[in-house]
Structure 1
Amino acid sequence: MLENIVTSPCLVNMSVGYENFTFEQVIKELLPDFILPITGFTIIGHVIQFNLKTEALPYRHIIGQVALDKIPNIRTVIHKAANIESAYRTFEMELLAGAPDYITSMRENSVTLHLDISKVYCNPRLGTEHTRVVNSLRPPLPINDPFLTPRPIPGDRVVVYDVFAGIGPFSIPAGRAGCHVLANDLNPDSFIWLKKNVAQNSSRKRPLKNIVCYNMDGREFIREILLPHYRKYGNSDTTESADCDSISLSIDRFVVIMNLPQLAIDFLDAFVPPLNCIKSSNIITDNSVTANLNDSSVIRQKFIKPLYIYCYCFMRRNIESEQTIKIRLAKALNTNMTDLFQFINSITNDETVDNMNNEQINDKCFIRNWHYRFVRNVAPYKDMYCAEFELYLPKLWLFYDYSSPTVKRSRTTENELIE
């Protein structure tokens, strides 16, 4: 045995095979030098998704097989063959290697999200953003004692309207935090998986009855569900849970999440009624609500709680700026920059609203506490941003009746739930 021990430098023969190389090393050896390294891909459960450049497409099946061999726990390799163009945010895909098994799952924020990647939109690269927003839904309650640690707002005092909910990466963690959640998506398949994810993340301890799902166009959801709900509870000290069990409590925050970066800003026009139609026949006639319609002091007392908006958008690098987004916001809300942002830097309290005159309350919306931040790089010269702000709606908008007998009834969780 001792004579086989190497005690000085010498030559040793070693056999190195395919199994000894990483994905990146194999691809570098197999592909021509003019092709840039293949490093960008997305993994969702057992599915890996590539977005290959044109020069790499002739070698796509080789890339797929190497990925199948070298990347752990992968059974399906796909290529995103076209950009997201459909209203359902799905894309054309090509199977490069493995089984055509597109039903998978991913885990983030302590919840498991199931999906069919061929039919619904999902972006695991936004996991950090999902966590950041969910954690911000319940900010600390203000206290005057410097020796006490502020406690977050109780979840049942927060309402979340998720306008483009997808399979639930915002809605379900928010529901688990105790928030009342109204989640919507236009895609019927997303609606199905959203309901299934709500059911499968429920437990005896956390039944998630505080989440209601809708299958509607985003504008219809805002006009037919969000605004009537906000109007009902935004001026009240009581609300109901999503499962319609009455609960006496005060709602501190009304949060709107609009994660459709290509179009979300444009959907803000759903908060604006057709002003040429605002007349007596279009105003809510509930006596308990409209008795003091012209009393601005009452309106100030009832509607000082704003909508906290998280509105995502794309911005072309070096071409567009924060000012571009503000202009788009003003256009969508049918107002001008001066009126919309006149209180942008005001202190976060109700003093500004209390001091406003009747005309401002009646006719103009405005924004406070504006915050515009970078989220992620999407493509060369294209970035994703989030505009966060408090939106105050004028009195006439809040009392406008958006309901229409011609609007198609929405699908909700009262329909058959997938087991």
Structure 2
Amino acid sequence: MLSELTLTLKQSLRRQMTLDVSPPLAAGPFNRTLFRKSIPILAARFPGTKLGSVRKSVPMRSAVIDLPRIRSVIPDPADPSGDRLVLLNVSSEVDLPSETVEFLKTESNGLVPYTLELDYDYWTADDIIQAILPEALRERSPVGFAITGHIAHVNLKDEYLPYKHQIGQIFLDKNPQIRTVVNKLDTIDNQFRFFKMELLAGDPEYVAEHHEADCRFTFDFTQVYWNSRLHTEHERLVQIFNPEDVVADVFAGVGPFAVPAAKKGCAVLANDLNPQSAKYLAVNVENNRVADVVRVSCEDGRAFIQAAVNRVLAEPFPAYSGPRKSKTQENKERRKQRALGSQTTVDTNVLLPPRNKISHFVMNLPDSAITFLDAFRGILSHRDRQEIEKIYTTMPMIHCHCFTREIEPELARADILQRVEEKIGHPVPDDFSLYLVRSVAPNKEMYCISFRLPARVAYE
């Protein structure tokens, strides 16, 4: 049976000793100097030799201050070379448990007052945003944003728009890697589908350099579509491709599928109707050193689909020649060859035939990609069937992204299948796959349906 003294000890140790370290409320014009707080606390003096026993002491565990970014042990300002101050989680000795008081009497060199100074730099972005908003808006205050290169982009709800510039400045202050903060507007460019946006804070510099999948992408964020939340989908689809495949990217954007696929070894026809997307796509192809296996075009998606097969037949890509080497690896091999006194290299392209068959079509325009599927009707019908069947022993895979308002998986499946089959004029093969990419809104899901193009459709 526990003694009364032991019970008292346990109850004392369970006491919640907390300090109010929330920032001061600062409604009105944004001013960093308003975010200052002086908190009187107690500190215990300890010789440096005793700090180890202090940390292990049960009576001290709940008494030592435990705050993010605040050191609990500091030099004594009155004697920097002498005792250390252990900051306590109380402002008065009466708030300490009796067993902690006894420990301090026997082990410390006394208690001293100490003032904990907090300022704007101490609090997080969420803390500061909570402090500037009226109480009614604090519960669901905006704390999240996506980063593209040096740009942070937010989607503020209407009720937070009066505070948009303050919120933007806070995000800018609290994230050193960010130089520009923008708010995406509800309106989007109807033809090219990129978001309109407004500057909230920072430099009006919208040409971003973004890194994903060991690739470097450069683009004007105000002129092209880019969604950092799709990086796992980019990786998922590229993993499906074999290095020797030819991929036709119908709505390539600035290259989030095309460039990683090319670095994997694939040959790529990369197309986008937006001239700005095609411009930066070409830049990214060059910067990532895959220009030898990527052909960039700026065409309507339907025309691109209908011409793609003939283009690769008329001008095949070079044969797959093994894993692509980085610039460092290439330089290392050159130095090795020079050391051996030989400049001879083995041309592995002669071991495999040129690539003249498309293995995959990627259609990442979820708002309307399904409506382009009718373009696949007859894409092989203009060639001699006996000859083309020798090349296309299997039909290309189509990976079509789309939205659906159906939240239940079975209903979503039925909705997407019905729309796809209506456009291609043929049932989708039974071995198709349907992958949920992400939830876009409470009643809107993004899927990718992957299926092999039926031969009947291709030769129609």
TM-score, normalization: structure 1? 0.71
Q: Answer whether contact 1:257 1:311 (CA < 8 A) is retained.
A: yes
Q: Is the Cα contact below 8 Å between 2:399 and 2:448 reproduced in 1? A: yes
Matches within 5 A, 1:19-418: 19-35=121-137, 36-138=140-242, 155=243, 157-202=244-289, 207-224=290-307, 226-229=308-311, 232=313, 239-241=316-318, 248-249=353-354, 254-273=359-378, 284=382, 289=384, 303-318=392-407, 320-335=411-426, 340-341=427-428, 343-344=429-430, 369-394=431-456, 397-398=458-459
Query: For the Cα contact (< 8 Å) 2:407–2:444, is it kept in 1?
Result: no
Cα displacement (A) at 1:39 = 2.4
Q: Once the two structures are superposed, what CA deviation does each residue of 1:363-389 show, in whole Å capped at 9, x if it has no partner?
A: xxxxxx211011112122211111111
Structure 1 stretch 45-54 or stretch 380-389: which is displaced more?
380-389
CA radius of gyration, larger in: 2
Is the 2:318–2:354 Cα contact (8 Å) retained in structure 1?
no
Structure 1 counterpart of 2:309, one-letter code: L
Retained in 2: the 8 A contact 1:111–1:201?
A: yes
Q: Which 5+ residue runs of structure 2 have no aligned equivalent?
A: 1-78, 87-107, 320-348
User: What is the Cα deviation at residue 265 of structure 1?
Assistant: 1.0
Distance, in Å, in 2 between the alignment partners of 1:72 and 1:18 is 15
Moved more, 371-380 or 112-121: 371-380
- Percent sequence identity is 36
1:33 Cα deviation after fit: 2.7
What is the rounded CA distance, in whole Å, between the counterparts of 1:9 and 1:83 in structure 2? 62
Residues 283, 309 of structure 1: CA spacing in aligned structure 2 closer, same or farther, 3 A cutoff? Answer: closer
Task: Write the distance in 1 (CA, Å) between the matches of 2:304 and 2:198.
Answer: 33
Question: 1:163–1:256: 8 Å Cα contact kept in structure 2?
Answer: yes
Q: Deviation of residue 394 (structure 1)?
A: 2.1
d(CA) in 2 for partners of 1:195 and 1:299? 31
Amino acid at match of 2:170: V
Q: Is the Cα–Cα contact under 8 Å of residues 81 and 94 in structure 1 kept in the other structure?
A: yes
Does structure 2 retain, via aligned residues, the 8 Å contact 1:269–1:333?
yes
Contact 2:317 2:356 in 1 (8 A): no
Name the structure 2 match of 1:16. 118
SS at the partner of 2:360?
Answer: strand
After superposition, what is the alpha-carbon deviation per residue over 1:173-195, rounded to whole angstroms, capped at 9, x for unaligned?
11111111000000000000000
CA distance in 1, matches of 2:198, 2:214: 31
Change (3 A) 1:270 1:22: same
- Displacement of 1:37 in angstroms is 2.0
Could you say what the CA RMSD is over the residues aligned between the two structures, in angstroms?
2.8
Give 4+ residue runs of structure 1 displaced > 6 Å after superposition: 250-253
- Report the count of equivalent residues: 325
Q: Distance in 2 between matches of 1:303 and 1:80?
A: 44
Q: Determine which structure has greater relative contact order: mean sequence separation of CA pairs < 8 Å that are 6+ residues apart, divided by chain length.
A: 1
Residues 33 and 201 of structure 1: CA distance in aligned 2, closer, same or farther (over 3 Å): same
302 and 104 in structure 1: CA distance in 2 versus 1, 3 angstrom threshold = closer
- Structure 1, residues 300-343: CA drift from partner, whole Å, max 9, x if none? 655431111111111224375111000001111123xxxx14x5
